[in-house]
Structure 1
Amino acid sequence: MQMTFRWYGEGNDTITLKQIRQIPGVKGVVWALHDVPAGEVWPVGRIEEVVSQANQYGLNTEVVESVNIHEDIKLGLPSRDNYIAAYKETLKNLSQYGVKVVCYNFMPVFDWFRTDLYKEAEDGSTALYFDAKKVLSLTPEEVVKNMEENTKDLTLPGWEPERLKDLKRLFDLYKHVTEEDLLANLTYFLKEICPVAEECGIKMAIHPDDPPFSIFGLPRIVKNKQDIHSILSAVDSPSNGLTFCSGSLGGSLSNDLIDIASTYTSRIPFAHIRNVKHFGDGSFIESSHLTEDGSVPITGIIKALYDNGFDGYIRPDHGRHIWDEVCRPGYGLYDRALGLMYLLGAWDTNVLMKSSQY
């Protein structure tokens, strides 16, 4: 297992590589070229620049999150083949610099979704919050405005500006797209991409929908164990894998996260581990990583991955905003570093127990 930490790049992050290097146990950064629009080839020179920056601090760049999927691919439009060809070129370019895993998602229009980016918790910290009642009264435009006004002048992870400028057209295009249609379009994409990914030694790792249910009537196809089975069995390739995200899948209490982790460990090259605390009305807030602070069995998930031979990459996921830190929503230094140490402690406990030294 390799512990990693997400980094948004020089000039686009409040956190430096020097700070990340000082977190015990971190072997690499999870990165992306966030300013390259979806559908365009990632330039070799830009890739080399980021790799060089990280390597100066002894950090690897083996995990990319994300190479975003152009909306035409998700919609299955005739233009998708051109964008898929560009995606293949990006994979080839990344492979030249040792990239092993590419995380991506297939969520239509929106990426992750919250109603409040700085909800105050009982301890005075703030965190990302999903208000199940409030979302019923919001329009897509209001969601975008709220997100963009609260990002501290930093890019929103996963949210592509070019998509958000044309919401009405995109919603019209998805009006008659079913989950079956979306899965068929994903399968088409994977059948094209996986042979190239295999040649490049790269594992594609699809990220679950966040939250794992439909928003504004849009189709969602990575919500639960059944969806995961459908995707992994649709294309039989070692490059067709899953990003196991305990926070995204944990947005639904009906998901048995330990069972999913145990069942698909061999198909999970990358894991995001974080906690969420659920409330009775379906709302939830992102808590500390500590198991008892939320509704997600963090230590049970770590044990399941360890017991089933997980040898991929893990990163702490969204953290709270603590100690007056000003940062990108969910991506500060302090709480994620605390969470990372908790995850390493849970992992090391399993190592010690197996070796009978505990």
Structure 2
Amino acid sequence: MRMVFRWFGEGNDTVSLDHIRQIPGVEGIVWALHDLPVGEEWPMERIEQIRDQASAYGLHIDVVESVNVHEDIKLGLPSRDRYIDNYIRTIEKLGKVGVKVICYNFMPVFDWARTDLHKLGPDGSTALFFEKSKIHGIDPLELVRTINQNSALTMPGWEPERLAHLTSLFDAYRNVSEEDLWDNLEYFLSKVIPAAEKNGIRMAIHPDDP
């Protein structure tokens, strides 16, 4: 097993690569390009920039979390093939820089949820935290307000421009059944897994997914 550490990017994460490399046993970072719109093909120069930043501190970039899945793919809309093509081209580029694992989410609307972005641990450190009792029955828009008020960095899947259209997203999913979602996931994986395998990459569904 090779230990890695989540990094949200230069100028976005308060934890620097210099700090990460000092953590005993950590050999690499888990990263993503959070500022790019979901569904957009990742530019090679941006990927290489992260690789070069990490390698300058002796860290690898083997794991990406996440290459987010566009809502049109999850909804099974006719436009999904265009976004899947972008996803495959991103996979091919990531394979060229040695990425071995791509995490992804396939949850409707929200890619992940937390109830505390700065949970204080016994040693004085902070971490993302989820407490089910606090989220049960909560108005999703209230959850969004809470996250936005307490986030000091750009969080993947919670980009402001995306959250601005939450109401229309909820409406879009109103008639999507659980079976529909599984069918759309199967269609997505049937396209991207062969591309991932061809490039030596394993697709790993994120543990936040139900």
The TM-score with structure 1 as length reference comes to 0.55
Whole-angstrom CA distance in 1 between matches of 2:174 and 2:54? 43
1:149 maps to: 149
Query: Deviation digits for residues 251-303 of structure 1, max 9, x if unmatched?
Result: xxxxxxxxxxxxxxxxxxxxxxxxxxxxxxxxxxxxxxxxxxxxxxxxxxxxx
Checking the alignment, whether the CA contact within 8 Å between 2:115 and 2:134 is kept in structure 1 is: no
Whole-angstrom CA distance in 2 between matches of 1:199 and 1:146? 42
How far apart are residue 130 of structure 1 and its match?
2.1
**Aligned pair 1:111/2:133, yes or no?**
no
> What percentage of residue pairs aligned between the two structures are identical?
61
Higher RCO (CA-CA < 8 Å; seq separation 6+): 2
Q: 1:3 to 1:82 in 2, by over 3 A?
A: same
Checking the alignment, whether the CA contact within 8 Å between 1:109 and 1:163 is kept in structure 2 is: no
Q: 1:189 to 1:22 in 2, by over 3 A?
A: same
Checking the alignment, whether the CA contact within 8 Å between 1:66 and 1:158 is kept in structure 2 is: no
How far apart are residue 133 of structure 1 and its match?
5.5
**Aligned pair 1:135/2:136, yes or no?**
yes
Larger radius of gyration: 1
How many aligned positions are there? 209
1:198 maps to: 197
Whole-angstrom CA distance in 2 between matches of 1:22 and 1:125? 16
Kindly provide the amino acid, as one letter, of the partner of residue 135 in structure 1. H
Kindly provide the amino acid, as one letter, of the partner of residue 171 in structure 1. F
Q: 1:10 to 1:121 in 2, by over 3 A?
A: closer
How far apart are residue 158 of structure 1 and its match?
3.6
2:183 maps to: 184
Kindly provide the amino acid, as one letter, of the partner of residue 46 in structure 2. R
SS of residue matched to 2:136? helix
Whole-angstrom CA distance in 1 between matches of 2:146 and 2:154? 14
Which aligned pairs between 1:231-242 and structure 2 lie closer than 5 A? none
SS of residue matched to 2:103? strand
How far apart are residue 160 of structure 1 and its match?
3.5
Long gaps (5+) in structure 1: 210-221, 224-358
Which aligned pairs between 1:257-276 and structure 2 lie closer than 5 A? none
SS of residue matched to 2:8? coil
Whole-angstrom CA distance in 2 between matches of 1:10 and 1:23? 18
The TM-score with structure 2 as length reference comes to 0.92
Whole-angstrom CA distance in 2 between matches of 1:186 and 1:54? 32
1:76 maps to: 76
SS of residue matched to 2:39? coil
1:345 maps to: none
**Aligned pair 1:164/2:150, yes or no?**
no
SS of residue matched to 1:132? helix
Kindly provide the amino acid, as one letter, of the partner of residue 87 in structure 1. Y
Query: Deviation digits for residues 158-185 of structure 1, max 9, x if unmatched?
Result: 4233331111111011112121111110
How far apart are residue 114 of structure 1 and its match?
2.9
Whole-angstrom CA distance in 1 between matches of 2:135 and 2:80? 35
Checking the alignment, whether the CA contact within 8 Å between 2:113 and 2:130 is kept in structure 1 is: no
Q: 1:67 to 1:123 in 2, by over 3 A?
A: closer
